[in-house]
Structure 1
Amino acid sequence: MDKKAKKRSEVLRKKLVDLQQKLSGAKQQMDDPEEVRQLEAEIAAAMEEISRLKAS
């Protein structure tokens, strides 16, 4: 993994932690079920990009 990919991976990991906290709060409150689906999709996309960066 080159320097740029490593930095992007670190940024995505930090974003992932933030998204997981938001998802936890959204699941507890459940005001907007669409928000939960959106957060889950963002988490999946971030995880997929991390795995793609690791593979390169």
Structure 2
Amino acid sequence: MGLNKKQKKQIDVARQKIQKLRQRLTGAKEQMDDPQEVKNLEQEIAAQEDLIKKVQEAS
């Protein structure tokens, strides 16, 4: 069974967030002003990737 529109939208939004988070992560790693920010961004990326997996598995 394929994904419905709502599930596709959830995945699209999560992928866009991951893209923005990765850009922020690159900047944070270059600056290294706040090592905790790097950790937070990595956790948020992982959370978004988990969300994508859950939505795909639920279909």
Gapped regions of structure 1 (runs ≥ 5): none
- Counterpart residue number, 1:49: 51
**Count of paired positions:** 56
Query: What is the alpha-carbon root mean square deviation over aligned residues?
Result: 0.5
**TM-score, scaled relative to structure 1:** 0.96
Equivalent residue runs for 1:7-46 within 5 Å: 7-46=9-48
Q: Larger Rg: 1 or 2?
A: 2
C-alpha deviation, 1:55, in angstroms: 0.8
C-alpha deviation, 1:3, in angstroms: 1.0
Identity %: 48
**TM-score, scaled relative to structure 2:** 0.91
Distance 2:10 2:32 in 1: 31
The 4+ residue runs of structure 1 with deviation greater than 6 A are: none
Distance 2:53 2:21 in 1: 17
